[in-house]
Amino acid sequence: MNAAFQVHLLNDQGKAKATKIAEAFHELVEKLQSLGVSLGQSLQPGHEPNRTRAGALVLTKLEEACFYAKKDMASSPENSQP
């Protein structure tokens, strides 16, 4: 099978790393929200409506980046089950 489509079953070390990656992205989202980035949530009256769409796009791209970070980590032999 082509390596790009291979399933990676994580060992305990890989699971711990996947959790840490997810936590790092969660912390980034919280920091962005504390700076006023809406991340697709409804806005207070008077805010421009495009900001919600932009925030949703930021969140989507962060989800995508988190996925690829975990995929890269999982493809390393020391993080996968034999």
Would you say residue 59 lies in a domain? Answer: yes
Angle ∠(8,21,15) on CA atoms, nearest 5 = 40
* Mean local confidence (pLDDT), 14-22: 98
Would you say residue 28 lies in a domain? Answer: no
* Angle formed by the axes of helices 12-34 and 50-74, nearest 10°: 160
Q: Tell me which DSSP letter residue 80 carries.
A: B
State pLDDT tens for residues 23-78.
999 999 999 999 988 886 554 555 555 557 888 889 999 999 999 999 999 999 99
Would you say residue 23 lies in a domain? Answer: no
Q: Is residue 3 predicted with pLDDT exceeding 80?
A: no
pLDDT score, position 1: 84
Would you say residue 60 lies in a domain? Answer: yes
pLDDT score, position 43: 47
Q: What is the 3-state secondary structure (H, E, C) of 43-71?
A: CCCCCCCHHHHHHHHHHHHHHHHHHHHHH
Which residue segment(s) compose the domain that 60 sits in? 8-15+34-74
Q: What's the pTM?
A: 0.81
